[in-house]
A = this chain, B = another copy of it.
């Protein structure tokens, strides 16, 4: 059967999104057929404006409406503490917790030689002028605990360990809150033993 072009076009657009297969794309498209045209128009406008109305912060490479971003320009944040993250999305995850009061530095990915991503493709070297300013006293490396994330963390550690006054740390590894030892994998368990803390 020939599917209506308007439907096929939208299904194809949805299919390009991460984690969306053909079935989900079809389901979302047919769902939108029941939605008022007004809502479709506001959805469509959000898509067009997404990149037009956002900027990349020239300090931390976060995505925001302003440059510098609200975090870098917030006088109440501790500018001496930098948390190093893979993507802007990770900032949202940390900010939700309200426990971190320093600033960020977004790498824009991880070193991944298999996909031709080297340190030059990331914002790794953009970190150095920030450290050289001498105003930074702590660096928390919070790349993901994956192979690529660990390798990137190692690469950065080698790059920055020459700054003697800089306290460098890696986020803690172990069991997530609410987990059961029974179902944890051996690597997570071994990391939780390595990272044990005295009472």
A43 close to chain B: CB less than 8 A: yes
**Interface residue ranges of A1-58 to B (CB < 8 Å):** 1-7, 9-10, 12-13, 16-20, 24, 26-33, 35, 37, 39-54
Q: Which of B26, B30, B32, B70 contacts A47 (CB 8 A)?
A: B32
A33 B10 Cβ-Cβ under 8 A: no
Interface class of chain A by DSSP? helix
Give the docked Cα–Cα distance between A44 and B64 (Å).
22
Residues from chain B with a CB closer than 8 A to the CB of A41 are 47-48
Residues from chain B with a CB closer than 8 A to the CB of A26 are 89, 92
A13 B43 Cβ-Cβ under 8 A: yes
Give the docked Cα–Cα distance between A64 and B5 (Å).
9
> Which range holds the interface residue count of chain A?
35 or more
B70 A2 Cβ-Cβ under 8 A: yes
A91 close to chain B: CB less than 8 A: yes
**Interface residue ranges of A76-120 to B (CB < 8 Å):** 87-89, 91-92, 95
A4 B47 Cβ-Cβ under 8 A: no
B63 A50 Cβ-Cβ under 8 A: no
Given A26-B92, A51-B40, A89-B26, also A70-B1 (CB < 8 A): yes
Give the docked Cα–Cα distance between A20 and B89 (Å).
17
